[in-house]
Amino acid sequence: MPSKAATVLRNLGQQDYLGVWQAMQQFTAERDNDTADQIWIIEHPPVYTLGLNGKREHLLKTNAIEIVESDRGGQVTYHGPGQLVIYLLADLRRLNKGPRQMVTILENAVINTLRQYGIAAQAQPKAPGVYVNERKIASLGLRIKHGCCYHGLSINNDMDLSPFADINPCGYAGLQVTQLADLGVKISTQELAVPVVHQLLQAIEI
C-alpha cells in the first residue's frame, strides 16, 4: 500500500453550497489510491439542505432561502454566514475506519474544540450532532462512495439563527439551536476553524 500523503487543507472562504457540493462529488469520483485526503474550510450564503432521506414536511414555512436536495446523510439543516462549515474528503479504506467511526471523529472534534472555550457539549447517539444543554450547536452528515467520504460538519458560531425556526432541524420538531456567540464566546469563524481542523488531523493522521 502506498504511503499516505499529508492531508491537504483548503480555506475556500464563502462559497455557494451547490458549487462546492458538485466539486466534492467530482473530487471523490476522480481520486485514486494515491490521492491525499482534503479538509475544506467554508462558509455558505443562506441555504437549506435536505439529506438523502430528507422530508420536505420538515420545511415548516416558505421563505426566500434556497433549498438544495443534497446527497449527504441526515434530514434538513440550515447554513449561513457566521457558521463554520468543514468538509472532510477522506479515503476510509486507507484510514481503516467505518462510517460510524467517522461520525464519531467529527463529533469529538467539535466537542473537544468547545471544551477549549469552556463549553461542555455532548453527542447524542440517536440524533447525530453536538448539543449544549439539549440545544444543537453542530450538525453533521457524510456521504460514502467507493470507500471514500465527503460532506462533514457545521458549527454555529455567530450567525442569524432565525432561519432554523422555519424548519425542524435535522427532522426533530421543536429542536432548539444555539451558537458560540450566545454562550459568551466571541471569535471569528476562521479562528474557530483552527482547533477543529487540528482535532480532525489528530484523528485521521495516525
Q: Is there a domain that residue 1 lies in? A: no
Distance CA 147, CA 138 (A): 25
What is the separation, in whole angstroms, between the first and last Cα of the chain? Answer: 16
Parent domain of 136: 8-204
Other CB atoms within a 10 A radius of the CB of residue 148 amount to 20
pTM above 0.75, yes or no: yes
Per-block average pLDDT, block size 10, for the chain (206 residues)?
75 97 98 96 97 84 93 91 98 94 96 98 89 96 95 98 91 90 97 98 84
Is residue 148 part of the annotated active site? The answer reads no
51 marked as part of a ligand binding site: no
Amino acid occupying residue 48: Y
Distance CA 183, CA 119 (A): 8
Q: pLDDT value at position 97? A: 94
Distance CA 176, CA 164 (A): 8
Q: pLDDT value at position 74? A: 82
172 marked as part of a ligand binding site: no
18 marked as part of a ligand binding site: no
Residue whose grid cell is 454562550: 183
Q: pLDDT value at position 2? A: 45
Q: Is there a domain that residue 3 lies in? A: no
How many Å separate Cα 162 from the centre of its chain? 19
Q: Is there a domain that residue 92 lies in? A: yes
Q: Is there a domain that residue 2 lies in? A: no
Q: Is there a domain that residue 45 lies in? A: yes
Secondary structure of residue 40 in the 3-state scheme: strand
Which entry of 170, 177, 183, 196 is annotated as an active-site residue?
170
Q: How many structural domains is the chain composed of?
A: 1
89 marked as part of a ligand binding site: no
- CATH number reported for the structural domain that contains residue 167 in this entry: 3.30.930.10
80 marked as part of a ligand binding site: no
Tell me the sheet residues that pair with 36: none
Q: What own/partner pairs with CB < 8 Å and gap ≥ 24 does 17-24 have?
A: 17/44, 17/45, 17/47, 17/49, 17/66, 17/68, 17/70, 17/79, 18/68, 20/44, 20/87, 21/68, 21/70, 21/71, 24/87, 24/89, 24/150, 24/151
Q: pLDDT value at position 1? A: 39
35 marked as part of a ligand binding site: no
Q: Is 138 exposed, middle or buried (0-12, 13-18, 19+ CB in 10 A)?
A: buried
Cα dihedral sign, 109-110-111-114: positive
